[in-house]
Amino acid sequence: MQRYLWQQAEGLRHAYDAHRTPLDLGVTFPTLCGAEVTTSRDDIGKWLRPTCHTCDREIRTRLGLA
């Protein structure tokens, strides 16, 4: 299993620590950008939503990517 995963929630694609946070519909979870977001039915299948830039920067830093 990958350590960090992406999840659409509250209008953006956020990254989260998959080892710490089990996800299910309606669950509020901490993201790598520090926000607490909740998944909803409106988020299902919306993978083309904008990426949270702060989550993107944080995941790159944690994985040692440019």
pLDDT digits (tens, 9 = 90+) for 7-56: 999 999 999 998 876 677 888 999 999 999 998 888 877 778 899 999 99
Q: Of 59, 54, 57, which Cα lies nearest the Cα of 35?
A: 54
Q: Does residue 58 carry a pLDDT above 90?
A: yes
The H or E element that residue 61 is part of is: helix 53-63
Tell me how far apart the alpha carbons of residues 37 and 2 are, in angstroms, rounded to a whole number.
20
Tell me how far apart the alpha carbons of residues 56 and 14 are, in angstroms, rounded to a whole number.
8
What pLDDT was estimated at residue 21?
Answer: 63
Q: Does residue 1 carry a pLDDT above 80?
A: no
Contacts of 53 (CB under 8 A, 6+ apart): none
Contact assessment for residue 2 and residue 8, using Cβ atoms and an 8 Å cutoff: no
